[in-house]
Amino acid sequence: MAVPEKILREVDKLREQIEHHNRLYYAEDAPQIPDADFDALVLRLEELEGKYDIADKDSPTQRVGGEAIAGFTQVTHEIAMLSLNKVFDEADLQSFEARIKKRLETESAIQYSCEPKVDGIAVSLLYRDGVLARAATRGDGLTGEDITHNVRTISNIPLKLKSAKKNSVIEIRGEIFLGKEGFRKLNETSEKEGGKIFVNPRNTAAGAIRQLDPKKSAKIPLQMYCYSVGLVDGIVLPEKLSEIFALIEKWGLPVNPDRSVKNGIDACLDYCLDLLAKRNDLSYEIDGAVLKVDSLELQQSLGNNARSPRWAMAYKFPAEEKSTSVIDVEFQVGRTGTITPVARLEPVFVGGVTVSNTTLHNMDEIERLGLRIGDRVIVRRAGDVIPKVVKVIPHEGEKKLAKQKPIPMPGNCPACGSPVEKDGDVLYRCSGGIICPAQRKEAIKHYASRSAMDIEGLGSKLIELLVDKEIVKSVADIYTLSVEQLANLERMGEKSATNIITAIEKSKQTTLPRFLFALGIREVGEATALQLVTHIGDLEDIIAADGESLLQVPDVGPIMAEHIRLFFSNGDNVSLIQTLRGCGIAWPLVESGSGDTKPLLGETYVLTGSLELMSRNEAKAKLIALGAKVAGSVSKNTSCVVAGPGAGSKLSKAEELGVKIIDEGEFIALLEDLT
């Protein structure tokens, strides 16, 4: 049948777009769109080529990746390095197995080798007589780039295999990547040195592996996991991929510890979902799982398509990067007066949730991105972190559309109209203070919150109503409220009003750390409030502490010390505290001291997994009160790890280092013994 001209034009444009983005991704390490957008282009092209039977050998759907870049010696792969087809849901996964069984003419259960889909760079390692002779990128699948000089700098890639066999050749294929911790430390160091801030681990790894100078590559802590074997000569390998993994691991090659073998596609789906659940706890970035028929004989029978094997499939997780448009930018005022730009976005599903707005942090970030209202941007959401705009997508022909507008910082607070002042290098603050409705409401909400004075029933909406009606103008006014005042409000009966007044009375008996935290001193969180009380003493001692004394408190640095000192040197703040105490707020007497008699002084604890009998914050507070330091990661200096259900990489690290591990029951018993 004749193909409509409209379809041919769309196909031509899709091929052009895919080739363009392929070149940016593989040859220039400068992708402009997220993987999810690229996958959508390829899927659409495959759909049209299949429907109208117009695929040809030059279509990007028939080739893998892009061309080798100039400046490197080209390497021809003896066996092509194919890419994987992708599925995104259970139905497509079931179809994948159905096709396999139909081709094999069997109804027997298929055994699969399953592994995480590491977000890195596909490479080939060629060992001759057990010695690393060559390393190459995948390139276009047939021709790659010689990167041996850079691969030799990667510490977990052996230069010589443990079982070196003469007159043998074996090609190991795998993924080179940059782990999360390595990426964090790299950016931390670069920022301190005033250097480039890297956007994500995958692009950083790609840039490092293509350095002409291996000394530059060596500065990036790259790693590798092996995922298959290519050319083999002079070596007899096992008949299953899972057994090959076990063998090459004995040779000293790095294989993924999270791999598994599953029978049937239902078990594979369970593996994928389990992997998705622990995605955030992994030490490296993944974007899905890879499922491969385990039997090499069956792999041979199934064979390959032009660009992918029939016996393997990538199950892609919800995209962590998607493109969308910036509709507007608004400015929000925080409880301390910080004015933050917030991008309003065309809703986009990314990282498992629909995102319609995200913080832009500060004006420096807007300038760094070159962002304007109306721009199309890439939004990234990894795990449970706040979505982030990571890049502005360039406009074709560098044309700026008329609807695009610059984003200036307002001269006056959007909440109260007070002048906006610069605070430090990047922050802006409202100068209105307590007269600013935004700050007043947020300050009262914070004061009444569960971690602060814990006034049950005094929620955000009720606080906003009380402030709007000018019944409550400061936190002290909370303690002058009556049942009659509350009962007369909309949707508030006498019983509810009575319960709230009871909760307000109950909140008067508190602890000093809670009260300090409730005051909203800049940068003083729950842990710091507890440290102040533990190491300085009662409120009068803390109010009187000078900068030098404050710096002796763990986790209190010069900036935080100055915030604390300024807060208590403000007469209005001290007057407010006196008013609150006059309302009946009290706490048990606190003895001053450095905490040198604390039973866990000098010990470092790590909490991982979920605790069922107390909150993570409560457990942390109890440990700090006993003199312990609570760290976020496990190291050789860790004294003990408290592991609850769902503990992941931290538990594994503790087992690896031989660190003491206790469960929640043992932790509760320890607290009872020490208190």
- Tell me how far apart the alpha carbons of residues 192 and 338 are, in angstroms, rounded to a whole number: 24
The residues annotated with a catalytic role in the active site are: 117
- Tell me how far apart the alpha carbons of residues 638 and 633 are, in angstroms, rounded to a whole number: 9
- The model's pLDDT over 642-672, given as tens digits with 9 standing for 90+, comes to 998 888 888 989 999 999 999 999 999 999 8
596: pLDDT confidence band, cut at 50, 70 and 90? low
Q: Is the pLDDT of residue 89 over 60?
A: yes
Write the CA distances from 132 to 250, 287, 364, 428, integer angstroms.
16, 29, 46, 55
Question: How many percent of the chain have pLDDT more than 70?
Answer: 93
The pLDDT assigned to 300 comes to: 94
Q: Is the pLDDT of residue 61 over 80?
A: no
- Tell me how far apart the alpha carbons of residues 204 and 120 are, in angstroms, rounded to a whole number: 9
The pLDDT assigned to 134 comes to: 95
Report for 93-102, 186-195, 440-449: range of highest mean pLDDT:
93-102
The pLDDT assigned to 335 comes to: 73
Cβ contact 228:124 at 8 Å: no
Question: How many percent of the chain have pLDDT more than 90?
Answer: 46
Q: Is the pLDDT of residue 70 over 60?
A: no
| 240 or 2: which leads in pLDDT | 240
224: helix, strand or coil: strand
550: pLDDT confidence band, cut at 50, 70 and 90? very high
Lowest model confidence (mean pLDDT) among 117-121, 243-247, 339-343, 519-523: 519-523
Write the CA distances from 22 to 42, 521, 626, integer angstroms.
11, 51, 57
The pLDDT assigned to 444 comes to: 92
Q: Mean pLDDT throughout 620-639?
A: 85
Cβ contact 144:136 at 8 Å: yes
H-helix or E-strand spanning residue 316: strand 312-316
Lowest model confidence (mean pLDDT) among 239-248, 471-480, 548-557: 548-557
Q: Please, what is the Cα angle at 111 between 108 and 116, to 5 degrees? A: 150
Q: Mean pLDDT throughout 322-349?
A: 90
Q: Is the pLDDT of residue 402 over 70?
A: no
Q: Mean pLDDT throughout 518-541?
A: 86
- The model's pLDDT over 268-302, given as tens digits with 9 standing for 90+, comes to 999 999 999 898 889 999 989 999 999 999 999 99
DSSP 247-308: HHHHTT--B-TT-EEEESHHHHHHHHHHHHHTGGGSSS-EEEEEEEESBHHHHHHH-B-SSS
Which residues does 675 contact at the CB level (< 8 Å), separation at least 6?
622, 626
- Tell me how far apart the alpha carbons of residues 250 and 244 are, in angstroms, rounded to a whole number: 10
Kindly compute the dihedral angle of the four CA atoms of residues 437, 439, 441, 444, in this order, to the nearest 10 degrees: -140
| 478 or 527: which leads in pLDDT | 478
**φ/ψ bin of 52: left (φ > 0), alpha (ψ from -120 to 50), beta (otherwise):** alpha
Helical segments of 508-648, H only: 512-518, 526-535, 539-544, 547-551, 558-569, 571-582, 616-625
- The model's pLDDT over 348-361, given as tens digits with 9 standing for 90+, comes to 888 767 889 998 98
Q: Mean pLDDT throughout 456-484?
A: 92
What structural domains does the chain harbor?
A: 5-62 (1.10.287.610), 116-307 (3.30.470.30), 318-430 (2.40.50.140), 436-507 (1.10.150.20), 512-582 (1.10.150.20), 604-674 (3.40.50.10190)
- The model's pLDDT over 193-224, given as tens digits with 9 standing for 90+, comes to 777 777 778 888 988 888 888 888 888 999 99
Q: Mean pLDDT throughout 376-398?
A: 77
Average pLDDT, the chain: 87
Report for 185-189, 331-335, 603-607: range of highest mean pLDDT:
603-607
The pLDDT assigned to 122 comes to: 94
Lowest model confidence (mean pLDDT) among 384-388, 556-560, 573-577: 384-388
Question: Judging by DSSP bridges, how do beta strands 321-333 and 376-380 pair with one another?
Answer: antiparallel
The pLDDT assigned to 598 comes to: 77
Q: Is the pLDDT of residue 506 over 90?
A: yes
595: pLDDT confidence band, cut at 50, 70 and 90? very low
92: pLDDT confidence band, cut at 50, 70 and 90? very high
pTM, two decimal places: 0.55
The pLDDT assigned to 336 comes to: 75
| 75 or 555: which leads in pLDDT | 75
Q: Is the pLDDT of residue 485 over 90?
A: yes
594: pLDDT confidence band, cut at 50, 70 and 90? very low
The pLDDT assigned to 434 comes to: 56
The pLDDT assigned to 60 comes to: 77
- The model's pLDDT over 146-172, given as tens digits with 9 standing for 90+, comes to 999 889 888 889 888 987 788 999 999
Kindly compute the dihedral angle of the four CA atoms of residues 183, 350, 50, 78, in this order, to the nearest 10 degrees: 10
Q: Is the pLDDT of residue 340 over 80?
A: yes
Task: Dig out the tokens for 5 from the structure.
Answer: 């001209």
- Tokens 């199950």 belong to 315
- Tell me how far apart the alpha carbons of residues 655 and 170 are, in angstroms, rounded to a whole number: 33
510: pLDDT confidence band, cut at 50, 70 and 90? very high
